[in-house]
Amino acid sequence: MQKVTRTDTHKPARQAGRKPARAVPAKQPLRPVISRVTHDVDLTAPRGYRARVLLKLVSRDNGHRYYSWWAMSGRHDMDVASLRFKYNGEDLIQFDLPDGMPLSEEMLAPYLTDFLAGEHHEPPDTPTVRG
């Protein structure tokens, strides 16, 4: 009687080892979405955003533009406050503020400066946000 032997090789069992660490994506800094208002709008904060704010140009003097908080709507989970805004040709800037971003003049001012500088059609005045 002949002895039968296996010809295929036996693969060793996988060793339970540590998996390589996954790269954790860097947390993106919170940035508002900014746009100029050019028509009537329903002022409602979009999902994922805590507020929609309108800033209105109220004054201008020697190299400065002064914006004031004009209207705001907010959102918290499913609760939403909204309002209808009728545009009448004034200089209005709309900010959509993401969840976790504080509402303050100091926080909005640098974003407003960058936004206005990127438009290239207005004089490069320094904008100031008043409460």
Residue 94 is predicted with a pLDDT of 95
The pTM of the whole model exceeds 0.85: no
Mean pLDDT, residues 88-115: 90
Is 65 buried (19+), middle (13-18) or exposed (0-12) by CB count in 10 A?
A: buried
Listed by start position, the domains of the chain span 38-130
Cβ-Cβ contacts under 8 Å for 39 (sequence gap 6 or more): 87
Contact 105, 129 (CB under 8 A): yes
pLDDT tens-digit profile of 40-99?
998 999 888 999 999 999 988 887 889 999 999 998 878 888 889 899 999 999 999 998
Which of 101, 54, 99, 103 is CA-nearest to residue 75? 99
